[in-house]
Amino acid sequence: MTSSTDRLAGSPFSGATLGGRYRLGDLIGRGGMASVYRGEDLSLGRPVAVKVFADAAAGIDDVARRRSETALLASVEHRALVRLYDAAHDEAIDREYLVMELVDGRDLRQTLRLGPISAADAAAIAADLGEALHVIHARGIVHRDVKPANVLLAPSHLPTRSWNAKLADFGIARLIDDARLTRTGAYVGTPGYLSPEQVGGRAPGTAADIYSLGLVLLETRTGQQAFPGPASESTMARLVRDPEIPAELGPEWVELLRAMTAREASDRPTALEVAMAAGRLDRVPAMSDAATTVLHEASDATRVLPAGGEATPVATQGAATAATAVLGTNDRSDDAVAARAIAAAMRPAPTRSRRADRAERSERSDDSDTSRRWVRPAIAIVLLAIIAIGAALLIVPSIASSMQPPAAPSEPLPSLPGELGVHLERLDEAVTR
């Protein structure tokens, strides 16, 4: 239970030692059925939370049943569940009590007094509690009293979330006889968070916990109870109407909460489905109106964001790894979320791994080797072609000249008398040799 240091007035059992082992300290929480004390386990020397029940909550003095139920509840272990260490009846104060893990932090009821929490923190709480309910439902345990006071918020050590949520008081209905509670006028569950089947008097199943968790999550987002007012009015209201889920929460939240708070138990999701859906909610950014102009398409397009905020595609660049957003001249919005989203859109794609680079280099090397293997044959072919062409140019004229008919013999020069005739004869002989 929570270890909030707020001290409450009227703590009659402070200083008492229950079962000769658990010394009670300050009163740190109180409800209609029990009071919670900070305690110390004297045997193990560790801090614990001790829940002391009121007189009406009789029913765990059956030693055999108490041991079997305590063993079952103690065996259920999960980071989002408050561990049960022991359960017993103390003869000195004539009260029954539970000894549980002490959680540093405060409960969700105290946190919601300051107003609604962020969508990211609400999604983290939904994931934690959905997973916790999945674990106990798998063991056949129904919580029956999921409410903000039973959700403890331990500070988180991660910067991405504020708290780690833990579900407390699971399985108390198994330890305390429902029949005895009914006879004494007590109620197993809190009126503002009961499921329709619990209000109708039917035995609650695991779907009842989903309905109650839906109301708790709705309150974390709005800061208001879905069914406020007196107990009778609050319990009967859910039989005739569904809780109001504001559309401003976003379509993903509206869809999940509407399914969880369906009046028919068969229409509600399982705890595992809630946890999975909450995990997806945690990855959906809450964006302002100015940031809604950021690109959501998977295609690599260049878009212009005019002053009105509506994005219009103007060009597509298939080689780009991210879309480029261009602000219109009239857009002077300083919205930080929009700026971060646009910067993310313009951020270059992540570098590839060394293995991918090596593979690409290997492929390029193989292609280069293949290309080199074809170079020499190509050069040889070109040279052969040049030689063939040269040979053709030399051989073809020779063949053509050999095929031409012999030239007709030239006619002898006419003989002339005297010295001129002698010179012509000598010239003729020199030419024809």
380-408 pLDDT, tens digit each: 787 777 877 776 676 656 655 555 555 55
The span from the CA of 35 to the CA of 37, in Å, is 7
pLDDT higher than 70, residue 115: yes
DSSP line for 367-400? HHHHHHHHHHHHHHHHHHHHHHHHHHHHHHHHHH
Give the separation between CA 252 and CA 219, rounded to whole angstroms: 16
Is residue 32 exposed (0-12), middle (13-18) or buried (19+ Cβ within 10 Å)? exposed
State the Cα angle at 187 between 185 and 193, rounded to 5°.
150
Q: Which residue has the tokens 């035995």?
A: 203
pLDDT confidence tier of residue 31, bands split at 50, 70 and 90: confident
Mean of the per-residue pLDDT values for the chain?
Answer: 75
| Helix, strand, or coil (residue 212) | helix
pLDDT at 330 over 60: no
Q: What is the pLDDT of residues 247-277, one digit of tens each?
A: 999 999 999 999 999 999 999 999 999 999 9
Q: Which of the residue ranges 62-71, 174-183, 207-216 would you say has the lowest mean pLDDT?
A: 174-183
Distance CA 246, CA 211 (A): 17
Q: Which of 310, 258, 253 is nearest to 286 (CA)?
A: 253
Choice among 129-133, 217-221, 412-416 with the minimum mean pLDDT? 412-416
Whether 189 contacts 235, CB under 8 Å: no
* pLDDT tens-digit series, residues 50-75: 999 887 555 665 667 667 777 888 88
> Residue 319: which pLDDT band, with cuts at 50, 70 and 90?
very low
**pLDDT cut 70: percent of the chain above it:** 61
- Tell me which residues are annotated as active site: 145
Residue whose entry in the numeric block shows the structure tokens 């390029």 = 364
Sign for the CA dihedral angle at 121, 116, 194, 82 comes to positive
pLDDT attached to residue 62? 62
pLDDT per position as a tens digit, 90-106: 989 888 899 999 998 89
Q: For residue 239, what pLDDT is reported? A: 92
Q: Look-up: residue for tokens 């102009």? A: 293
Residue ranges per domain, the chain? 17-281, 290-346
Backbone dihedral region for residue 94 (phi beyond 0: left; psi -120 to 50: alpha; all else: beta): left
pLDDT value for 289: 37
Please tell me what DSSP assigns to residue 414.
P
Q: What is each CA distance from 31 to 28, 34, 333, in whole angstroms?
A: 11, 5, 50
pLDDT at 192: 92
Q: What is the pLDDT of residue 149?
A: 92
12 or 240, which is more confident: 240
Q: Contact at 8 Å (CB) between 1 and 28?
A: yes
Percent of the chain with pLDDT over 90: 42
Predicted pLDDT at 40: 97
pLDDT of 159 > 90? The answer is no
Distance CA 66, CA 42 (A): 22
- Residue 2 is classified by DSSP as B
Query: Which residue would you say has higher pLDDT here, 291 or 239?
Result: 239
Residue 331, SS3? coil
pTM of this prediction? 0.62
Q: What is the CATH number of domain 17-281?
A: 1.10.510.10
pLDDT band at 190 (very low <50, low <70, confident <90, very high): confident
The pLDDT score that the predictor gives to residue 341 is 47
